[in-house]
A and B are shown apart, each in its own frame.
Chain A
């Protein structure tokens, strides 16, 4: 059974901070509960008060600007993201990723903000959003700030968020001309065994620059600048791409992967190499469509 707690449902950000204050810090922000209630049930966490953020309007909604930059409220559910016309149009890789998160019940209740704030090392969105140079907006009683995904997630289940701060929104930049972004994973269970997010920019038929992020191998999602550099210069043609991926795959082969119930370190590195090829191919296709 879930340990006893009091429940508060603020209707504004100001009320949420007031509820935090009233609880004397012995509290947790709560939205979908797909992670939080699970760890409370297992006895790993206990709080005097849960502060339900689902009725705080400042934390909801998805919007896009004219260029296609997205702003996704922290309490938007995975299911809302996978169906959002804005996301489907401007960042189809995220909609596709969200369609494959856990199962439909988790997607109906779990939120993007909660996923990032929980910082599970196998998070799907964290890995892809890292490759997309997404930024998160935080707010606290002391004011607002924003940061990159790798500034937010600093360890397994660990973020740089202050206890009294909360995630407000996630911002994903508009794709540049010739840019494509894609994500590939393999999952045997609810969370991926390995996952790769890729951003490429194609200029004159070749990859001009790229970002490669890898999730589920180490205790947090990581960007591998050397892998991105190894993709630069490759021709944006499927057959030639496959032949030229060796150097980037070799970079992934050096990752100090953590063996887990999904497989050995060697196996997970192998998976990451395969997934890199799939993600690059998809990203290049999208980039050519944006050229």
Chain B
């Protein structure tokens, strides 16, 4: 039986109504139905963090989160960070600190760090490392990423 359900949610502050199958993940819906391909799927097993998005302010792995569970909720993706072409302090800090090389982990890093800074605007270095534990980067060795988050926190002071 192919069941479909209607869901209504906010994605980056825009209302969306979609008819989907219950088995569709949030990553599927964001990428394939809404064209928001900034959210990357890498490990597909909730380990790497590349697909990190915010649902009602909490970070989730969009690869293993059913889109029906976002029904009625507010989803934020990397596309929702910059406004009118103006980067957030965090995005700018990633550029200034050269906190990415291949860039595949970057959307997830940005969303994880955004959630961290919203909850704790002035984290210590250890708190940044703890907050990003579970977001994997195979290029940078992490130091510039941690530096970027600390720089963004400083900028927001």
Contacts and interface: CB of A to CB of B under 8 A. Distances in A.
A77 B102 CA distance: 34
Interface stretch (B53-61, B88-96, B148-156): B53-61
Contacts of B23: 1-5
Contacts of B58: 79, 108-109
Contacts of B25: 2, 37
Classify chain A's interface size. 20 to 34
Contacts of B21: 4
B44 interface: yes
Interface string B58-74: 11110011101100000
Given A4-B23, A6-B22, A104-B134, A41 B61 contact: no
Contacts of A190: 47
A274 interface: no
B49 A103 contact: yes
Interface string B1-12: 111010000000
Contact of B22 (A34, A50, A102, A108): A50
B22 A38 contact: no
Given A2-B25, A105-B61, A52 B69 contact: yes
Contact of A105 (B1, B2, B68, B134): B134
Interface of A: 1-7, 33-34, 37-38, 41, 48, 50, 52, 54, 79, 102-106, 108-109, 190
B134 A33 contact: no
Given A34-B64, A105-B59, A41 B22 contact: no
A34 B46 contact: yes
B45 interface: yes
B52 interface: yes
Contacts of B3: 4-7
Contacts of A1: 23
A106 to B, nearest CB: 6
